[in-house]
Amino acid sequence: MSTEPSGIVVVGSINADLVVTLERHPQPGETLLGRTMTVMPGGKGANQAVAAANLGARTTMIGAVGQDAYTVVALSGLHAAGVDTSAIQRVGTTTGVAIVEVDDGGENTIVVIPGANAEVTPELVAASAETIADAAVLVLQGEIPATSVAASVALARGRVVINLAPVINLDRATLLRADPLVVNEHEGALVLAQLTGSDPSDPADHADHADHADHAQTTRALLACGFASVVMTLGGSGALLASATDLLEIPAPTVQVVDTTGAGDAFTGALAARLSAGDSLADAVRVAVLVGAFAVGTEGAQPSYPSLTDQLPAAPTTSSITTGQETDA
């Protein structure tokens, strides 16, 4: 094992995405005719690994797939991006599947069937202990068991990026290793509730620390819980970065939205790639916002991610919320 951490290790989910396009999303009890269905590689972990590798980061994926017809598809994007897949184990169950509905406005709904992702156990993680310890950046999400997230964090010597999506119950010590914690506005409120014992559905419960409608207050409140840094993604509005020295609003460029599937994963993968390359957190978030904006312009998750040869959208100006001053993005 090398003395200095290097590269990115992603411990997380690997899925096949069944992407259905339709005019609008059905109401409860309603049957609609869809337009198309495409099977693509997906899973939040695999998506983030592909996004990072596409941007030139040396990336290793740790996870599990089944031995069914979806396995080849689920692994195809990782292979194409040059991700090291030698630590992925094949288990005796089905490969994870996500059923994605995308409407004419590019908005999606997703139902995830974990399959083999539920078999990413602490023992499976421990089999790659040296690989995890040697990573400059360890990336985790919420689509594998909480015990395995904790086991991964315990092995890490480098920087830990936790994209807690979906929000699962992690012990406080594990959660606070995130630098940054990456969440959207809804996930941020849930994590805050998890750490403070408040009710995320009751605005009165957040009066002293965060308002659901005030994303800056939520990021500040999360920082006050003990995080070194928090990045809150805001979809087409960009992202907020909170750290001990910064509270920055980083806007997204205006782009035509085709499909938002996997855009948040593109963001997290790009963030990890730039951090592993030595960028400051603020600069890494700026690049990640542009990568996320690029990703919504094409159908699917992994097929929409840019490579080093793609032209990213132009960056808008970044605002410092704490001072109100403008800084050159």
Q: Are strands 181-184 and 159-163 parallel, antiparallel or unpaired?
A: parallel
CA-to-CA separations, 309 to 55, 94, 303, 320, in angstroms, rounded: 9, 36, 15, 31
Does 213 have pLDDT greater than 50?
Answer: no
Residues contacting 247, CB < 8 A, separation 6+: 216, 219, 220, 240, 241, 320, 321, 322
Residue 176 within a domain: yes
Q: Tokens 């292979």 identify what position?
A: 79
Rounded Cα–Cα distance for residues 81 and 105 (Å): 29
Residue 24 within a domain: no
Task: Count Cβ atoms below 10 Å from residue 259 Cβ, excluding itself.
Answer: 24
115, 93 Cβ separation under 8 angstroms = yes
What is the 8-class DSSP label of residue 84?
B
Residue 247 within a domain: yes
Domain region containing 271: 8-13+43-93+116-327
- Mean of the pLDDT values across residues 55-65? 98
Residue 73 within a domain: yes
pLDDT in tens, 248-303: 999 999 898 888 888 999 999 999 999 999 999 999 999 999 999 999 998 888 99
Percent of the chain with pLDDT over 70: 90
- Mean of the pLDDT values across residues 189-206? 74
Report residue 67 as tokens.
């031995």
Residue 48 CA, chain-centre distance (Å), reads 6
Question: Tell me, what's the pLDDT at 204?
Answer: 44
Residue 27 within a domain: no
Burial bucket for residue 122 (CB in 10 Å: 0-12, 13-18, 19+) = middle
Active site residues: 265
Residue 32 within a domain: no
Does 320 have pLDDT greater than 80?
Answer: no
- Using pLDDT thresholds of 50, 70 and 90, give the confidence band for residue 199: low
Q: Tokens 């411990």 identify what position?
A: 11
CATH number at residue 53: 3.40.1190.20
Considering its fold, how many domains does the chain have in total? 1
Residue 268 within a domain: yes
139, 272 Cβ separation under 8 angstroms = yes
Does 318 have pLDDT greater than 90?
Answer: no
**Residue 204 or 305, more confident:** 305
Residue 25 within a domain: no
Q: Which residue type, as a one-letter code, is found at position 68?
A: D
